[in-house]
Amino acid sequence: MAHLFKLALNPIAFNLGPIPVHWYGIIIATGVLIAVGLAVREGRQRGINPDYIYDMILWALPAALICARLYYVVFQWGYYSIHPAEIIAIWDGGIAIYGSLIGSIIVVILYCRSKFIPVWLMLDVAAPTVLLGQAMGRWGNFMNQEAFGKVTNLAFLQSLHLPKFIINQMFIQGAYRQPTFLYESTWSILGFAVILILRHNPHLFKQGEVFLTYVMWYSAGRFVVEGMRTDSLMFMGLRVSQVLAIILVISSMIIFVYRRINDPQNPWYLEGSGVKLKPSTEKGD
């Protein structure tokens, strides 16, 4: 059995001279590119100019990265106060999804208001693509052997019919671990598929409800998976992500129902912005 963990994957994909290029960064970047491409395609159908999405991404990405790191560092300040030079070492992992969402949503709100774009509609367009990006991003955690779960055994992992490379990579700190990265990634991919199937049904979602559905879906799954992890960010003895997940699920449900009851004139998602854009002539778009 001891030989299995020696086959753990190298987190470094290749080197550009003295600079190591990590799989973590490659996977995150790939997820972002795919998410942007899908958002642009859907946004055009909903009357959102692709140029607005590209411009917004230029602001949202650095804000998401900075907030994701700050969120993580704040709740791990006991360590980073002693090792301040490592605060910027995001290539070794240590960014929080909830932090990135906070930063991104702030940028989306500010940008859309400045361009007179319906904020809820933009969030709806982006939500499922973000979910796909999150699913891909968990494989960056896999390469870094982080975001893992409690100790388990080889027999359990084999019972899940996992490929050998996943089982090997789950041998961490001298023991096999629950592949919580895989649980969350699978949940996110399933949510992405469900939302994509449902969101084009007439008179199902009003603007804002695709986004709220995403928040509820992701947070519910994250609450369960977080309880299996051993590297959770903690505050006053509580798992931060679980507390935040509960708050987000409840608040999203309240907002969903409140808007349905008190704003019956809220437009349907498929009505989009009301602006008709010319069909794209770009190949592959």
Assess if residue 282 is contained within a domain: no
pLDDT confidence band for 83 (50 / 70 / 90): confident
Amino acid residing at 251: S
Question: Which structural domain, as residue segments, surrounds residue 165?
Answer: 5-271
Examine residue 284 and state whether it is found in any structural domain, yes or no. no
For residue 261, give both structure tokens. Answer: 């009851």
Q: How confident is the model at residue 4 (pLDDT cuts 50, 70, 90)?
A: very low
On whether the CB atoms of residues 49 and 277 are closer than 8 A, the answer is yes
Q: Per the domain annotation, does 68 fall within a domain?
A: yes
pLDDT at 128 over 50: yes
Q: Is 5's pLDDT higher than 80? A: no
Cβ atoms of 136 and 34 closer than 8 Å: yes
Tell me what pLDDT residue 282 has. Answer: 44
* pLDDT tens profile 227-251: 999 888 888 888 999 999 999 999 9
What does the pLDDT look like over 131-183, one tens digit per residue? 999 999 999 999 999 889 999 999 999 999 999 999 999 999 899 999 999 99
* Residue 184 belongs to some domain of the structure: yes
Answer whether 0.85 is exceeded by the pTM.
yes
Token digits for 40? Answer: 């642009």
Percent above pLDDT 70 for the chain? 92
Answer yes or no: is pLDDT of 276 > 80: no
Question: Is residue 216 situated within a structural domain?
Answer: yes
Q: Of 142-151, 211-220, 249-258, where does mean pLDDT reach its minimum?
A: 142-151
Has residue 116 been placed in a domain?
Answer: yes
Q: What letter would DSSP give residue 10?
A: P
Closest to 259 measured CA to CA, from 210, 187, 188, 218:
210
Of 131, 227, 221, 146, nearest to 181 by C-alpha is: 146
Nearest to 166 by CA among 186, 195, 143: 143
**Domain assignment present for 97:** yes
Half-sphere exposure of 116 (CA within 13 A, CB side): 2
User: How would residue 81 be classed by pLDDT, with cut points 50, 70 and 90?
Assistant: confident
The band of 92, judged by pLDDT with boundaries at 50, 70 and 90, is: low
The CA dihedral of 44, 27, 199, 284, to the nearest 10 degrees, is 40
According to the model, what pLDDT value does residue 272 have? 86
281 lies in some domain? no
Q: Are 107 and 140 spatial neighbours (Cβ–Cβ below 8 Å)?
A: no
Q: What ranges make up the beta strands (E) of the chain?
A: 12-16, 19-22, 151-152, 171-172, 175-177, 234-235, 238-239
What's the N-to-C CA distance of the chain in angstroms? Answer: 49
93 pLDDT exceeds 70?
A: no
Q: What's the domain count of the chain?
A: 1
State the pLDDT at residue 285: 39
Give the Cα-Cα-Cα angle 87, 30, 104 (nearest 5 degrees): 55
**Which among 62, 48, 74, 52 has a CA at the least distance from the CA of 104?**
62
